[in-house]
Structure 1
Amino acid sequence: MLDIGYALSLRFPDPPQTDYRRADVHALRHDLFCGDVYLADTEADRELSTAWGWVPVLDFAWALCDIVERLDRDPLGSRAARPLHAELDFTESTDRLLFERRFGWVEIAAQWLPAEPPLIFSHSELRREARDFLHDLIADLTDLHEDLAENPAIWTLQARFPRVG
C-alpha cells in the first residue's frame, strides 16, 4: 500500500507577513510550506524521502497530481506496453523523482538514492493516494492558516484534482 506524507520544516518557516488569502500560484508552489516529503510502500516497508527541509510540500503534492495525469495520456491506458516517463524535479536542486508507467504499473525511483530499487504501485492507487494527499495537505494547511481556504488558486487546485473513490 502507498503512503504519501510530509513534515513542515521549523528551519524554513513562512514569512510572518504572508497574506495566504492573496498568495499567488508562484508563492504557493515555491515560497511557502517548506519541509520534507516521502512516498512509502507500507507492505514492503520501504520509503523514498527527502531530508532537506526546504521542499515546498504543496508544490510536491500539486506536481505529483500533474504527473499522475500525464502518465495516463496513452489511449490504451493500462493495456499500453510502451513505457511513459515523467520527472518531478525539486527546484532548488538537481535531484528528481523518476516515474515510469508500463501497463497499469508505475515505478518511482529517487535519483538521489541510486542504490534503492524503485517503488512500484498501480496507477489507480497512485492517482487515488496522490489526490488524497493533496486534499489532506490542503486541509492541514488551512487549519494552520485559515485565510488559505479563501485563496482562489486553492479552489482551482481542489477542483482540478478532486478526490477519487
Structure 2
Amino acid sequence: MIKIEYRQTGPYVDQGQEHQEEVDLASASRADLRWYYFLSDLTFTIDEAELTPPWSWTPVFDFLWSMKGALEHLERGEHTTIGFTENAELISFVPEGEKVRVSCTYTAAEAVCERVDLRTAWLAFREAVLTQLSVKYPRLAANPVFAELQL
C-alpha cells in the first residue's frame, strides 16, 4: 500500500515572511505557488518503507509537480529523481518493467511497487490536496496555474 499525505504547516511564505492576508491566490505565479505557498509536512510510505521527509515546511505544490514529472519519466521507462527546494535531498525512482524501485538520500529505506499503484496514489493525493485547498482558499481555484495540476 502506498500512502502520500500532507498536513499544511504554513499558508504562504514570501521572502521568509508568512502571509495569510492580502495575497490574491487567483493571480499568484506558478513559481510562487510551487515554491513559496502551502508549506506542509509530507507523509510518504510504500508498504513498510518509510520514505517520509524528516523535515517540515515542504511546499506541497512543488511535491505535486515533481511527482507528476517523475511519473511521466517512469512511463517512458526512464530513471528519475525529485528534489526538494529546502535542501539537496532526493527521492530516486528506478523503473524495473512495470515496477518501480523507490529510494531516497535521507533514509536507508527502499521499496518496490507497481508503477500503476504509484500513479494511483499520486492521483488520490493530488485530488485531496486540490480539493482541500480550493475549498479553504476559493480564489486559488480560479488560478490558471492551479488548473495545470488537474490535467
TM-score by length of 1: 0.81
- Partner secondary structure for residue 85 of structure 2: coil
Aligned to 2:57: 54
CA distance in structure 1 between the aligned counterparts of 2:39 and 2:51, rounded to whole angstroms: 18
Runs of 4+ in 1 over 6 A off after TM superposition: none
- Number of the residue aligned with 1:2: 2
Match of 1:134 among 102, 126, 140: 126
Q: In the TM superposition, what whole-angstrom CA distance separates every residue of 1:105-163 from its partner, at most 9, and x where no partner exists? A: 111112111x32x121100111121122112111111122111111111122212xxxx
In 1, Cα distance between equivalents of 2:116 and 2:48: 20
Deviations 1:26-48 (A, max 9, x none): 0110010101212213xx43321
Q: Secondary structure at the match of 1:158?
A: coil
- Identity among equivalent positions (%) equals 27
Matched position secondary structure for 2:7: strand
The letter of the residue matching 2:40 is: G
- 2:53·2:106 contact (CA, 8 Å) conserved in 1? no
> Any stretches of 5+ residues in structure 2 without a counterpart?
13-18
Q: Which residue does the alignment assign to 1:119?
A: 111
Aligned to 1:34: 39
Match of 1:95? Answer: 89
Deviation of 1:86 (Å): 0.6
Contact in 2 for aligned 1:62/1:134 (Cα 8 Å): no
Q: Distance in 1 between matches of 2:128 and 2:120?
A: 12
Q: 1:21: Cα distance to partner?
A: 0.7
Alpha carbon RMSD of aligned pairs, Å?
Answer: 1.4
**What does the per-residue CA deviation read over 1:63-96, in whole Å, with 9 as the maximum and x for residues that have no partner?**
101111111114xxxxxxxxx3111100220111
* Paired residue total: 144
Separation in structure 2 between the aligned mates of residue 130 and residue 99 of structure 1, nearest angstrom: 14
The separation in 1 between residues aligned to 2:88 and 2:74, in whole angstroms, is 22
TM-score by length of 2: 0.88
CA separation in 2, counterparts of 1:129 and 1:8?
19
User: Residues 91 and 102 of structure 2 are in contact (CA less than 8 Å); yes or no, is this contact kept in structure 1?
Assistant: yes
